[in-house]
């Protein structure tokens, strides 16, 4: 079954120098993620959640060990290759939404497709579809500044899914949202996960998120403390 | 294509800050072209005036003639060679005989150069036809500056003294038949123009001349002339060209300052935006931008200030400069004392070379100024950028 892993980390270590001491943000982490997972990485503040997501997202490189994403070893990628991997296969959702302020909702969602070099027609069609998923078709012409936090995060989700990447990494996606909006976007992501078979990995403290995830990985001091199945779907229950 | 689009969007998105920079930069743009055009116009006009009134298509100098060495003048005359006489008869050359003399306006002694020239000549634009007066023994033509200096006016008679070829002093009364306005001081100050034949006779230098002015666009003789040296326009105009160049350098200090000011504003904007927009850079990287692309984007964003400035400058600068060329600048009296032959009105010239050159310069400098601060991005880690932190 080795080959069915979309993402695999082997003895993954990330060390940050703090003054003249060294801090192991990730300490020999061995994890595998399969297609269509809906997984949360939880743990106390500073336990290494963001660091893990960043390495999987090829935004950062491990100090030691290996992280293989879609058959590519992150530590071996050049800047360009890492950028291409992110462009084609990974969608990011951030706590602070990170929309481009000068672009409209439509243009923000269109942006990854522009980078992929799709034609105008293709782009328009895909953006429309993505905006339908997040129920924001009527706000296509708005600028991010004119939207609520929840709406912004839905734009960010649309931007992440519009290119139908294999993996979506979401670092505290609900931290800046109220309960209603949090549930709203979690439901959206769950649907997308089911429909598109996209692998979602969350880093979160949020109890609300934990209610939705189907696998919970707990990090403590950069080590995997627990890895448990949650809210199993029917199929998974059958498999057990 | 995505980078220029995004750059333009960001630039317009920044609103007032962009337009402030663009307006300041466009000022220096217009100022550079405006000022440089004035100097070019000054140069062209001075060169034109001097060519028309004095240098023609170049001059043959008798070998002893040296305008900077007054002591050489008594020896600087010789009979005209056949070849030059031929040119003269064809109307392509005007011989000038220069004799040192003295006048005594209201009791003061004032040295003058008595210049003999053929009243019929049309080689240089001096109104020598006024000298074709058979009814007057010795008609003379002077410029307005000379007239003012010596307190002379049209119709006045004044005694002129000179030494002839043998070194004997002689004196005659001359009658001022005309006071001419000329932009070229070098044919005006301290000079009295008289008919060539008369001065040749009086100075006992028959058929002689000190220099011969060729008509404009006349080729000098193929073979050299013994005892005469040809001085081309480039040589004759060297002084004025150098003078204008010196003025240009003086003037350019002002627009260098203007340009620096604009560049500082852009540099500042760039540094600020690179500092403040870390998160945006991180986002772009997360979406698949490489660092190189981010650098390109931010450099282009800055460089586009230059492009926008060029456009804005064209919008208000074109009518302004066209107006200048139409109206010209009225020159104050004092400019005359600089030694320029400009006249009352300066018409700036705005050549394609000047405009293209300035545009290229401004775009180049803006691009460099925009690029320099972006080098920080090259070391930026995507993870740090996303946190909005400096590395
Ligand atoms: N760039 C860095 N330089 C130095 N130390 C860092 C850096 N990034 C993270 N760390 C440290 O690594 C450890 C793990 O950080 P990380 O951001 O992964 O934690 P986290 O689990 O995401 O925490 P939180 O829940 O607060 O977001 C922390 O102790 C943090 O201080
Ligand atoms: Mg974190």
Contacts of A112 in chain B (CB under 8 A): 287-288
Contact B286 A80 (CB under 8 A): no
Give me the pLDDT at residue B367, please.
92
Percent of chain A past pLDDT 90, that is, above it, reads: 78
> What value does the mean pLDDT take over residues A234-238?
52
Contacts of B17 in chain A (CB under 8 A): none
Domain termination residue (choose one: B211, B231, B251): B231
Average pLDDT for B43-63: 89
pLDDT in tens, B200-231: 999 999 999 999 999 998 888 888 888 999 99
Q: Which helix (H) or strand (E) holds B61?
A: strand B59-62
B196 and B113 belong to one structural domain: yes
B353 CB contacts (<8 Å, ≥6 apart)? none
Interface check B280 vs A, CB under 8 A: yes
Per the structure, how many domains does chain A have?
1
- Note whether B44 and B75 are same-domain residues: no
Of B231, B263, B288, the residue that ends a domain is B231
- Are the beta carbons of B382 and A59 separated by less than 8 Å? yes
B47 with B178, same domain: the answer is no
Least confident of B17-26, B51-60, B76-85, B322-331: B322-331
Beta carbons of B288 and A102 less than 8 Å apart: no
pLDDT in tens, A182-196: 898 899 899 989 999
> Number of C-alpha atoms within 13 angstroms, CB side, residue B247?
19
pLDDT in tens, A134-158: 889 999 999 999 999 999 999 999 9
Secondary structure string (H, E, C) spanning chain A:
CHHHEEEEEEEEEEEEEECCEEEEEEEEEEEEEECCCEEEEECCCCCCHHHHHHHHCCCCCCCEEEEEECCEEHHHCCHHHHHHHHHHHEEEECCCCCCCCCCCHHHHHHHHHHHHCCCHHHHHHHHHHHHHHCCCHHHCCCCHHHCCHHHHHHHHHHHHHCCCCCEEEEECCCCCCCHHHHHHHHHHHHHHHHHHCCEEEEECCCHHHHHHCCEEEEEECCEEEEEEECCCCHHHHHHC
Distance CA B351, CA B38 (A): 11
Does A12 map to a domain? no
Atom in ligand 1 nearest the alpha carbon of residue A222: 14
Let me know whether B65 and B32 are in one domain: no
Give this prediction's pTM.
Answer: 0.77
When scoring B386, B388, B389 by the number of chain A Cβ atoms within 10 A, the one with the most, hence best to mutate, is: B386
Does the distance separating the beta carbons of A115 and B285 come in below 8 Å? no
Are residue B160 and residue B65 in the same domain, yes or no?
A: yes
Q: Which residues pair with B194 in a beta bridge?
A: B116
User: Domain range holding A163?
Assistant: 35-64+79-237
**Ligand 1 atom having least distance to the Cα of B381:** 1
| B147 plus B211 within the same structural domain | yes
* Cα B246 from Cα B233, distance rounded (Å): 20
- How many angstroms away from the CA of B260 is the closest CA of chain A? 29
In a domain, A188, yes or no: yes
Average confidence score pLDDT of chain B: 87
Res B333 pLDDT > 80: no
Q: Residue A205 is part of a domain; what is its CATH number?
A: 3.40.50.300
In chain B, the number of structural domains is 2
Q: Which two tokens stand for residue A102?
A: 């000068």
Looking at residue B348, its pLDDT comes to 85
Using a 6 Å cutoff on CB, does residue A25 contact ligand 1? yes
Q: Do B76 and B177 have their domain in common?
A: yes
B170, β-bridge pairs: B162
Locate all alpha helices (DSSP H) within chain B, ordered by sequence.
Answer: 2-13, 16-50, 82-89, 144-150, 196-202, 233-236, 238-276, 278-286, 291-327, 352-374, 382-386
Supply the ipTM of this predicted assembly.
Answer: 0.91
CA distance linking residue A176 with residue A179, whole number of Å: 10
- In chain B, residues with a C-beta closer than 8 Å to the C-beta of A100 are 6, 280, 283
Q: Does B181 touch chain A (CB under 8 A)?
A: no
Indicate whether A16 belongs to any domain.
no
pLDDT of amino acid A1: 44
Q: Would you call A59 and B287 a contact, using CB atoms and an 8 Å cutoff? A: no
Average pLDDT estimate for B23-50: 85
Q: Is B290 on the interface with A (CB under 8 A)?
A: yes
Tokens of B271: 């540094």
Instruction: Check residues B53 and A1 and name the one with the higher pLDDT.
Output: B53
Structural domain harbouring B321: 2-52+239-386
Q: Does the residue A216 lie in any domain?
A: yes
Is residue B391 included in any domain, yes or no?
no
Position A84 pLDDT exceeds 90: yes
- B27 lies in the same domain as B111: no
Of the candidates B226, B243, B298, B308, the residue with the CA atom closest to the CA atom of residue B269: B298
Whether the per-residue pLDDT at B329 is higher than 90: the answer is no
């Amino acid at each position: 079954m080795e080959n069915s892993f979309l993402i695999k980390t082997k003895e993954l270590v990330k060390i940050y120098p703090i003054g003249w001491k060294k801090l192991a943000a990730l300490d020999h982490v061995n994890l595998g993620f399969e297609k269509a997972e809906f997984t949360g990485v939880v743990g106390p503040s500073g336990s290494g959640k963001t660091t893990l997501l960043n390495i999987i997202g090829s935004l950062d490189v491990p100090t030691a060990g290996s992280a293989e994403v879609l058959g590519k070893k992150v530590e071996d990628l050049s800047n360009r290759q890492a950028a291409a991997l992110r462009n084609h296969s990974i969608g990011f959702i951030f706590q602070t939404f990170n929309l481009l302020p000068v672009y409209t909702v439509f243009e923000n969602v269109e942006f990854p497709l522009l980078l992929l070099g799709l034609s105008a027609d293709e782009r328009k069609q895909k953006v429309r579809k993505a905006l339908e998923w997040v129920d924001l078709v009527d706000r296509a012409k708005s600028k991010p500044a004119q939207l609520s936090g929840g709406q912004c995060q839905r734009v960010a989700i649309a931007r992440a899914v519009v290119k139908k990447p294999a993996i979506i990494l979401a670092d505290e996606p609900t931290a800046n949202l109220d309960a209603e909006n949090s549930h709203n976007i979690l439901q959206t992501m769950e649907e997308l996960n089911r429909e598109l078979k996209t692998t979602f990995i969350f880093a979160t403290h949020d109890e609300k998120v934990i209610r939705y995830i189907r696998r919970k990985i707990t990090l403590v001091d950069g080590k995997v403390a627990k890895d448990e199945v949650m809210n199993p779907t029917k199929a998974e229950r059958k498999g057990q | 294509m995505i980078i220029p689009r995004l750059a333009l969007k960001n630039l317009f998105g920044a609103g007032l800050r962009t337009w402030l920079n663009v307006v300041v930069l466009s000022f220096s743009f217009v100022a550079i072209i405006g000022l440089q055009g004035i100097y070019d116009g000054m140069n062209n006009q001075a060169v034109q005036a001097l060519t028309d009134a004095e240098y023609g298509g170049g001059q043959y100098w008798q070998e002893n003639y040296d305008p900077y060495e007054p002591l050489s003048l008594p020896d600087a005359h010789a009979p005209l060679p056949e070849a030059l006489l031929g040119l003269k008869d064809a109307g392509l050359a005007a011989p000038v005989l220069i004799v040192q003399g003295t006048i005594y306006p209201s009791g003061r002694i004032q040295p003058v150069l008595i210049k003999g020239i053929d009243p019929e000549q049309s080689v240089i634009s001096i109104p020598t036809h006024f000298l074709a007066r058979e009814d007057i023994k010795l008609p003379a033509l002077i410029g307005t500056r000379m007239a003012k200096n010596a307190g002379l006016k049209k119709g006045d008679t004044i005694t002129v003294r000179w030494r002839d070829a043998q070194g004997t002093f002689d004196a005659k009364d001359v009658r001022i038949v005309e006071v001419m306005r000329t932009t070229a001081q070098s044919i005006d100050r301290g000079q009295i123009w008289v008919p060539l034949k008369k001065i040749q006779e009086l100075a006992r230098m028959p058929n002689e001349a000190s220099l011969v002015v060729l008509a404009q666009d006349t080729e000098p003789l193929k073979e050299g002339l013994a005892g005469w040296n040809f001085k081309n326009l480039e040589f004759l105009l060297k002084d004025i060209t150098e003078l204008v160049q010196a003025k240009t350098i003086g003037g350019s200090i002002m627009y260098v300052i203007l340009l620096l000011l604009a560049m500082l504003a852009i540099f500042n904007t760039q540094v600020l935006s690179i500092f403040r927009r870390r998160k945006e850079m991180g986002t772009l990287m997360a979406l698949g931008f490489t660092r190189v692309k981010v650098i390109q984007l931010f450099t282009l964003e800055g460089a586009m200030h230059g492009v926008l400035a060029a456009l804005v400058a064209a919008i208000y600068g074109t009518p302004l400069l066209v107006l200048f060329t139409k109206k010209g600048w009225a020159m104050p009296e004092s400019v005359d004392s600089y030694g320029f032959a400009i006249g009352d009105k300066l018409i700036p010239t705005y050549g394609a070379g000047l405009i293209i050159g300035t545009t290229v310069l401004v775009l180049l400098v803006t691009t460099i100024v925009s690029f320099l601060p972006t080098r920080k991005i090259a070391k930026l880690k995507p993870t740090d950028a996303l946190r909005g932190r400096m590395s």
